[in-house]
Structures are given as structure tokens and as C-alpha cells.
Amino acid sequence: METVYIETSIVSYLVADPSRDLVTSANQLVTRDWWRQRRGRFACLASQEVIAEASRGDPEQVRRRLAVLSSLPLVAISSEAQRLARLFLSTGCLPPKAARDAVHLAVATSIVADYLLTWNCRHLANAQILKRLDREAQSIGCVLPRVCTPLELMGDSPYETGSDS
């Protein structure tokens, strides 16, 4: 069974009140559909970093996020993950304010997760950043997980359009 590291934005979109923003609303819907339809096909887990982020903000949203996270196994932030996070930040392609994002990627990498699921397209699901970080990871013998959104991990999806011809 493939492993999916669930990043904080997934849990936030999953439990948030419906947004009036069209794109955010669509992303919330895709997240809920993925959680219902596809999550069971993967070994899903999170880390203490996800718990820390999910514990901030509106008390009702915190309660909802932590309730969802209570059903997921948590992996430790190992010394290897801490070292990787520092390496990712030292490249300069992640700004210092993205330190938590570096930790998510480092934890997922250190546990050899197949996927890191996120809606954070600024720092995580960003092809240019990942290209640079992948080179750094490979230089020390590590392989980054496939970083993607729930839409990319839907499989045979009702969201697919067009044909493959």
C-alpha cells in the first residue's frame, strides 16, 4: 500500500466551512471527495508538525482539525528529518518563513513516503522549487516523495475531462 503524508492544508480544507471563493470552494470539494473516495487506498499519516499547525487559530476549526488528525498515525520528526529540513532551507529556494513547509517535506522524505498531499502550491506543490530540492536530496541519497494535490491523486476521477487519445 502506498504511503501518503497528509500536510496541514489538507486537513484545513477538509473541515473548513465552505468558502465563497470559487477556487477555494472547488479545492475543498475535491479534498472532501478524495478523503471519502480515495483515502482508504493509501496508508495515510501525519507528523507532530501537522498537529502543531492544526492547533492554531479558531478554536472550533482547531477542534475539527484535531478530530480528523486523531484517526491518523503520527510519525516523529527524526534527527534525519531535521537535518533534511535545514538542508532544504539552506538552498535558498525556500524562504525562512517556509521552515514548517521544509519540515513537512523532510519528514515525508525521511520516511520514504510515496506522496506528500498538500494544497500549499507556493512552497510545496511547486515544480520549480521541487526541481531544485530534488537535486539536493539526490546528492545525499534521498528521494523526494511525489508532492501533489488531492486532484492529482484522485485516480479514476469524475474530475477528469477530455480523452487520452
Q: Average pLDDT of 131-137? A: 94
Domain-embedded: residue 76: yes
Judged against a pLDDT cut of 70, whether residue 153 lies above it is answered with: yes
pTM score above 0.95: no
Backbone angles phi, psi at 115, to 5 degrees: -135, 150
| SS3 state of residue 72 | coil
pLDDT above 70 covers a percentage of the chain that reads 94
Q: What is the enclosing helix (H) or strand (E) of 108?
A: helix 99-110
C-alpha cell at 141: 541519497
Domain-embedded: residue 145: yes
The 10s digit of each residue's pLDDT in 23-37 is: 999 999 999 999 999
Judged against a pLDDT cut of 90, whether residue 132 lies above it is answered with: yes
What integer best gives the mean pLDDT of the chain? 93
Q: Average pLDDT of 81-110? A: 95
Judged against a pLDDT cut of 60, whether residue 18 lies above it is answered with: yes
Structural domain total, the chain: 1
pLDDT band at 157; cut points 50, 70, 90:
low
Longest dimension (CA), the chain: 49
**What are the strands of the beta sheet with 146-148, ordered from one edge?**
74-75, 43-47, 3-6, 115-117, 146-148
Judged against a pLDDT cut of 50, whether residue 164 lies above it is answered with: no
Q: Average pLDDT of 124-135? A: 94
Burial label for 23, CB within 10 Å (0-12, 13-18, 19+), is exposed
Judged against a pLDDT cut of 90, whether residue 161 lies above it is answered with: no
Q: Which of 129, 119, 131 is nearest to 94 (CA)?
A: 129
Domain-embedded: residue 113: yes
Domain-embedded: residue 158: no
- CA-to-CA distance for 104 and 99, rounded, in angstroms? 9
Domain-embedded: residue 162: no
CA 42 to chain centre: 14
Query: What pLDDT score does 163 carry?
Result: 45
Domain span including residue 103: 3-153
Domain-embedded: residue 160: no
Amino acid at 127: A
Domain-embedded: residue 29: yes
Q: What is the CATH number of the domain that holds 58?
A: 3.40.50.1010
Centre a 10 Å sphere on the Cβ of residue 7 and count the other Cβ atoms it contains: 27
Domain-embedded: residue 161: no
